[in-house]
């Protein structure tokens, strides 16, 4: 059975950042051992593909968004416990604490935790019983977000990140929210507040 600890729908900056932060715990802690993460992405639709970045701290001025997205995907795949599958999720249902996520082409993946990082242009995934409202920070009307508790949690084991969470549509906001959601998921597993920090080896 295709069962994952966390399924992330959407492989833009928010979804990738969430996965990378989760995967960076690797096998360092008892609670992070043997975890596996799946990103399902209808690739080609991330807003980052349209951008050139001149205002992101730490990212060189003039960085082409499409190149950056490719780099972040490669970074994610360097962790052995992240898979990225191409597909458009059309339905997700929760039964007995397990999310069953279905793509347009009929694949079904199961996950204990679900993170929605689908951008703010529309939300058409059926079966989740979430409240889709006008996006509070979109620069133009007609954009949507999924209502959450103010800390990206929709309900137990269901999270949102990036534009679909009502973050300002800025690269840093998207990756920041993805990392925040990852830390909150790991904190639940660990039973205490968790961050993953590295230090230089020398």
Q: How far is the CB of 103 from ligand FAD (least distance, A)?
A: 7
Q: How far is the CB of 143 from ligand FAD (least distance, A)?
A: 10
Residues with Cβ within 8 Å of 16's Cβ and at least 6 positions away in sequence, in order, are 39, 69, 72, 73, 75, 76, 175, 178
Strand 153-155 relative to strand 158-160: parallel, antiparallel, unpaired? antiparallel
Q: How far is the CB of 53 from ligand FAD (least distance, A)?
A: 5
Neighbours of 81 (CB within 10 A): 18
32 or 163: whose CB is closer to ligand FAD?
163
45 or 190: whose CB is closer to ligand FAD?
45
113 or 189: whose CB is closer to ligand FAD?
113
Q: How far is the CB of 178 from ligand FAD (least distance, A)?
A: 7
Read off the DSSP letter of residue 156. Answer: T
Integer Cα distance of 18 and 103 in angstroms: 21
Q: Shortest CA distance to 133 belongs to which of 121, 147, 120? A: 147
Residue 119, classed as helix, strand or coil, is coil
Residue 183, classed as helix, strand or coil, is helix
Helix (H), strand (E) at residue 78: helix 65-78
20 or 125: whose CB is closer to ligand FAD?
125
Q: What phi, psi does 130 have (nearest 5°)?
A: -110, 160
Q: How far is the CB of 28 from ligand FAD (least distance, A)?
A: 26
32 or 161: whose CB is closer to ligand FAD?
161
Integer Cα distance of 86 and 43 in angstroms: 7
29 or 64: whose CB is closer to ligand FAD?
64
Q: How far is the CB of 62 from ligand FAD (least distance, A)?
A: 10
Chain positions contacting ligand FAD, by CB under 6 A: 9-15, 40-43, 45-48, 50-51, 53-56, 88-89, 117-119, 125, 162-163, 169-172, 174
């Amino acid at each position: 059975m295709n069962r994952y600890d966390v399924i992330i729908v959407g492989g833009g900056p928010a979804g990738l950042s969430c996965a990378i932060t989760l995967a960076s715990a690797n096998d360092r802690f008892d609670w992070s051992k043997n975890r596996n993460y799946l990103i399902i992405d209808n690739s080609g639709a991330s807003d980052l593909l349209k951008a050139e970045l001149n205002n992101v701290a730490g990212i060189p001025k003039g960085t082409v968004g499409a190149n950056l997205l490719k780099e972040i995907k490669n970074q994610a795949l360097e962790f052995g416990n992240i898979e990225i599958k191409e597909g458009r999720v059309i339905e997700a249902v929760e039964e007995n604490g397990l999310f069953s996520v279905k793509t347009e082409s009929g694949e079904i993946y199961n996950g204990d935790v679900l993170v929605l990082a689908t951008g703010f242009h529309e939300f058409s995934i059926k079966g989740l019983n979430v409240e889709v409202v006008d996006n509070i920070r979109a620069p133009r009307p007609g954009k949507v977000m999924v209502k959450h508790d103010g800390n990206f949690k929709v309900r137990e084991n269901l999270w949102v990140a990036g534009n679909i969470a009502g973050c300002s549509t800025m690269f840093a906001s998207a990756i920041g929210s993805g990392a925040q959601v990852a830390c909150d998921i790991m904190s639940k597993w660990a039973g205490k507040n968790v961050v993953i920090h590295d230090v230089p080896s020398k």
